Amino acid sequence: MTGDAPLVAVLDYGSGNVHSAVKALQAAGADARLTRDRGLVADADGLLVPGVGAFAAVMEQLNGIRGGELIERRLSGGRPVLGICVGMQVLFDRGVERGVETEGLGEWPGEVTRLEADVVPHMGWNTVAPGEGSVLFRGVEDERFYFVHSYAAQSWSLDVIPPFPAPAVTWSNHGGPFIAAVENGPLSATQFHPEKSGEAGVQVLRNWVGSLRD
């Protein structure tokens, strides 16, 4: 932590649209740095994993810098990680796009599959139904957030054994329900883009950054 601002490493593995995420994190009160330095990624108060494009391409880029290992090492030490968009999708077991199945990071069980909707991609503003006990959505439970995606996790099957708390799973709907966000111990993720969601999105990031001080 640098001064009063938590240090957040934004993982630089070749994904696009990272600079807007850095700026949004800074607006949320973080000392945000785009990096692939393994020491900085390990030591930062928080790690943000961005992602745009295809599941398989993002996994190939992450594997190219052993990104899964970096994420797993942080989580095994209880160190916070936040995934955004495809950076959320790759946390599941696998992604299926155009008949091609790609292995994900396997932090959560389940598949990422094409949305069953008349209009795909799902592009634009949508509401969400925050999960019980959500920290990310405090103060913005009724706001709208910006989505751009054709694929999503559409079921949740992680069994949690007490005394571990149940994850807060947030849902949205486009042709059917899909997972819009998950908060599961040190690992959180959003399918929407907080950095494109105006003040409500900044507040989601502010809530996450604030949790890094705890």
Does the annotation mark 85 as catalytic? yes
Encode pLDDT of 138-151 as tens digits: 999 999 999 999 99
195 is catalytic: yes
Q: Please state, in angstroms and as integers, the Cα–Cα distance from residue 121 to each residue in 1, 17, 117, 155, 207, following that order.
A: 38, 18, 9, 19, 28
Query: Which of 85, 122, 149, 183 is flagged as catalytic?
Result: 85
User: Distances from the Cα of 37 to the Cαs of 12, 16, 79, in angstroms?
Assistant: 9, 18, 16
The pTM score is: 0.96
In DSSP terms, 8 is beta-bridged to: 32, 46
The active-site residue, picked from 122, 149, 174, 193, is: 193
pLDDT above 90: residue 83: yes
Supply the pLDDT for residue 3.
59
Tell me the C-alpha distance between 13 and 161, whole Å.
Answer: 34
Of 149, 174, 183, 195, which residue is the catalytic one?
A: 195
Q: Which domains does the chain have, with CATH numbers?
A: 7-211 (3.40.50.880)
- pLDDT for res 164: 81
**Is 193 one of the annotated active-site residues of the chain?**
yes
Residue 52 pLDDT: 92
199: Cβ contacts below 8 Å, ≥ 6 apart? none
With a pLDDT cut of 90, the percent of the chain lying above it is 92
Least confident interval from 61-75, 94-108, 153-167: 153-167
- Report residue 13's pLDDT band, with 50, 70 and 90 as the boundaries: very high
Nearest to 32 by CA among 195, 197, 198, 150: 195
Strand ranges of the sheet holding 7-11, from the earlier edge strand across to the other edge: 31-35, 7-11, 46-49, 81-84, 187-190, 177-184, 168-173
Distance CA 111, CA 184 (A): 17
Q: How many Cα atoms are found within 13 Å in the side-chain-facing hemisphere of 83?
A: 30
> What is the DSSP-derived secondary structure letter of residue 160?
-
| Segment 140-189, tens digit of pLDDT | 999 999 999 999 999 999 988 888 889 999 999 999 999 999 999 999 99
